[in-house]
A and B are shown apart, each in its own frame.
Chain A
């Protein structure tokens, strides 16, 4: 349990109904935390609980030493008293007010004469000069999103909460807005919590990614750590990792820092992981970057490292990259995904049906506790 005096946002939430939640979230000032999970995993509910729009049956929310909620102590601040900036999924702009008036609404802490000027500054910050007197109906989706952001920042919030803020705009606008938010977070120096189901967005914007499943925070850490070293097969699946398999620990060789993994008749060398006993079933994952194609044009000694053979199932050109699916041993049900530069794919004549070999880099293979047969 973190203490209320710590800087940043600290959230502990536990309840059985109406939706089951068991979440622990910490986000220091100046950092962005992404709450990631499938729809219905409770991520928006948790965000609303931070803002005070929902109240959990048990929980504690503290921000920069201020206690906002402590069900045990009977503390429960209203949303008005929490100083949060909240950007709603569909912006929730006041349709009868101009962009400027929308921002002025959240400037109640300033003297009356200063509000309009400050609203103009905030709208300029989000690149909406000249649009101040327009009503939301006369603004595009991206512009509405910017007004919502300006309004959220108007209170000088202690924490910024973004609920799927980029989901309702087109791809180009989304990239632009993401870039602007990324720029903004350095200047703000407050915790930012972003709810998203888009892993790419989370990986691009967040310093910390928090994987949520059925209301439970499964793993929190830097995005690359979660994507390369998921805590469980469930996290790996939720993080949309492709190459997740089941195998059995064969033996450990501590003197060589190696664990031997038995998988479909292959004996794979992986980094020593003493957590697991020989004979124990495990799940394991290898990121696409850990799969190296054996090149016909340029054979190398590295091919001795965990060689796996198969037949190419698909080879899809995505710009300068070829995304390849290998059917291991020609078996349709065992697919291994990796990527190679498009020119390598061409030079090696990669095409569906072709037989190739790959190496699985021992350092990239990550072992996880086996969770039984995969849930549907």
Chain B
């Protein structure tokens, strides 16, 4: 059992959720409530990681993060090291490949709020911000929770993109999923089995939790 890899995976999941969720709430809410030109294009772009082979996504991220690119160069100028094969690069990649998992459940949840409810809040005197905090967010809560759990579970399990962008550096980019692959390659079946069982259990509990909480919150509104 590679506890460093487990720690790194949890750290990555934590940071991904922390950075991605607030951003995803804003984007999903805008997609649900606003009609703007190019909305379909944005939705397609967000859904892309669902269908794109992880290696393809990883390849483009690798190109994007390279020292020759604008992003990679800028990061290197500021931080003094490259984005590729670092935790920061991994975090950025994780945020990108988790976009659909964070945004789609919340967008569905916001779309499920009847327009009259927001209007009723406005005519009751609530500002847009108060309406968001007191009406929209509590009603969209199951979606937010689903997004959180799916993002965390997916971050712990992602393999292809991580390997392409981060490589296999212990303590820096070797996540649990990479460590399993690493152990299998080294014929250390026992360690691979333990870590696989851990990810399996975690994924099962996570999905079960989403279903359970979604149902309970949903029935409260009946």
Contacts and interface: CB of A to CB of B under 8 A. Distances in A.
Contact of A94 (B120, B125, B127, B220): B120
Interface string A42-54: 0000000001110
A169 interface: no
Contacts of B125: 80, 106, 108-109, 155
Nearest to B117: A92
A136 to B, nearest CB: 8
A341 interface: no
Contacts of A92: 114, 116-117, 119-120
A106 B119 contact: no
Interface string B151-162: 000000000000
A86 B122 CA distance: 10
B220 A80 contact: no
Contacts of A51: 123
Interface stretch (B42-50, B65-73, B90-98, B131-139): B131-139
Interface residues of B, number: 20
B119 A53 contact: yes
A140 to B, nearest CB: 14
Contact of A106 (B116, B124, B138, B221): B124
Contacts of B221: 95-96, 135, 137
A138 to B, nearest CB: 9
A79 B123 contact: yes
Given A96-B138, A155-B125, A88 B116 contact: yes
A82 B139 CA distance: 26
Interface in A12-55: 51-53
A18 to B, nearest CB: 13
B126 interface: yes
A254 to B, nearest CB: 55
A125 B16 CA distance: 51
SS class, residues of chain B in contact with chain A = helix
Given A86-B123, A94-B120, A105 B134 contact: yes
Interface in B40-61: none
B119 A79 contact: yes
B121 interface: yes
A336 B117 CA distance: 47
B139 A96 contact: yes
B170 to A, nearest CB: 47
A170 B86 CA distance: 66
A109 B124 CA distance: 10
Contacts of B116: 88, 90, 92
A51 B120 CA distance: 10
Contacts of B134: 105
Contact of A137 (B122, B127, B222): B222
A79 B122 contact: yes
Contacts of A84: 123
Contacts of B122: 52-53, 78-80
Interface residues of A, number: 26
B126 A108 contact: yes
A82 B123 CA distance: 8
* Residue of B122, B127, B221, B222 with most partner-chain A CB within 10 A: B122
A51 to B, nearest CB: 5
Interface in B94-122: 114, 116-117, 119-122
Contacts of A90: 116
Interface string B161-199: 000000000000000000000000000000000000000
Please indicate which of the listed interface residues B120, B123, B135, B138 has the most CB atoms of chain A within 10 Å of its own CB.
Answer: B123
A154 interface: yes
A158 interface: no
Interface centre among B122, B125, B138, B139 (most CB of A within 10 A): B125
A96 B117 CA distance: 11
A135 B220 contact: yes
A151 interface: yes
Interface in A56-95: 78-80, 82, 84-86, 88, 90, 92-95
B123 A105 contact: no
A9 to B, nearest CB: 15
Given A53-B119, A86-B123, 4 more contacts: A92-B114, A92-B116, A95-B139, A105-B134
Interface of A: 51-53, 78-80, 82, 84-86, 88, 90, 92-96, 105-106, 108-109, 135, 137, 151, 154-155
10 contacts: A52-B122, A80-B125, A80-B126, A92-B116, A92-B120, A94-B120, A94-B139, A105-B124, A106-B125, A135-B221
Instruction: Give the 9 A-B CB pairs with smallest separation, nearest first.
Output: A106-B124, A92-B116, A92-B120, A95-B221, A79-B122, A86-B123, A137-B222, A108-B125, A79-B123
